């Protein structure tokens, strides 16, 4: 079934758009090599630009194969300079999201703005009933961001996700969702 999610979304301060190969260098400079940003993520900080290029390739394949929609967050006046990403992984009637923002933009409510806009559009479509996200139990900023974005905490999932920057063993996650 074709994916009816929009190719772009506009919020008050941001545009969410598809990645381009040329974005890799910007993302590498902005955050993929930042250990503070990567701390609670499922990847280790990148040490080589080629790792970020490989990730952008993976995102582009996700778009081409209708597996996922990785939207880059760009300011309206700097469409070529991404500052973060909201990745929507498509699972039948559910969309699982992941999100990350360059550190210097933290604390201004940008990610809740993007997550609210995305989940409202997704849940207005007839094929999606649920948008969900998990975060590590200690990632308080992420949990707060989900709450500010209208997500409800549904529970705690034990031994759920390996966060390689914290432990080689799977850690507990919190599950949040919005639904229609």
Ligand X SMILES: CC(C)(COP(=O)(O)OP(=O)(O)OC[C@H]1O[C@@H](n2cnc3c(N)ncnc32)[C@H](O)[C@@H]1OP(=O)(O)O)[C@@H](O)C(=O)NCCC(=O)NCCS
Contact positions vs ligand X (CB under 6 A): 37, 40-41, 99-101, 106-112, 135, 139-142, 144-145, 148
Angle at 72 between CA 97 and CA 160, to 5 degrees: 25
Q: Which CB sits closer to ligand X, 96 or 127?
A: 96
Least distance CB 85 / ligand X (angstroms): 9
Residue nearer to ligand X on the CB measure, 107 or 164: 107
C-alpha 84/C-alpha 32 separation (Å) is: 10
Q: What is the DSSP string of 111-169?
A: HHHHHHHHHHHHHHSTT--EEEEEEETT-HHHHHHHHHTT-EEEEEEEEEEE-TTT-SS
β-strands 68-75, 84-91 pairing: antiparallel
CB 31 to ligand X: min, Å: 8
Which C-beta is closer to ligand X: that of 4 or that of 107?
A: 107
Give the relative orientation of helices 140-148 and 110-124 as an angle to the nearest 10 degrees.
50
Beta carbon nearer to ligand X, 116 or 127: 116
CB atoms within 10 A of CB 73: 25
Least Å from the CB of residue 23 to ligand X: 17
Least Å distance, CB 61 to ligand X, is: 22
Query: Which two tokens mark 39?
Result: 């701390």
Rounded to a whole number of angstroms, the minimum distance from the CB of residue 165 to ligand X is 11
Q: In this complex, which beta carbon is closest to ligand X, that of residue 24 or of residue 133?
A: 133
């Amino acid at each position: 079934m074709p994916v009816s999610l929009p190719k772009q979304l506009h919020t008050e301060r941001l545009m969410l758009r598809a990645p381009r190969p040329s974005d890799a260098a910007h993302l590498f400079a902005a955050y993929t090599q930042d250990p503070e940003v990567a701390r609670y993520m499922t990847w280790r900080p990148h040490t080589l630009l080629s790792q970020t290029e490989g990730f952008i390739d993976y995102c582009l394949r996700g778009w081409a194969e209708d597996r996922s929609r990785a939207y880059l967050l760009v300011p309206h006046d700097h469409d070529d300079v991404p500052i973060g990403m909201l990745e929507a992984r498509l699972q039948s009637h559910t969309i699982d999201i992941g999100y990350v923002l360059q550190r210097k933009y933290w604390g201004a409510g940008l990610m809740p703005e993007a997550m609210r806009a995305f989940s409202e559009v997704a849940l207005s479509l007839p094929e999606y009933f649920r948008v969900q996200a998990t975060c590590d139990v200690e990632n308080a900023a992420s949990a707060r961001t989900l709450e500010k974005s209208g997500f409800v905490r549904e529970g705690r999932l034990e031994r759920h996700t390996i966060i390689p920057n914290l432990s080689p063993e799977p850690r507990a996650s919190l599950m949040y969702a919005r639904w229609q």
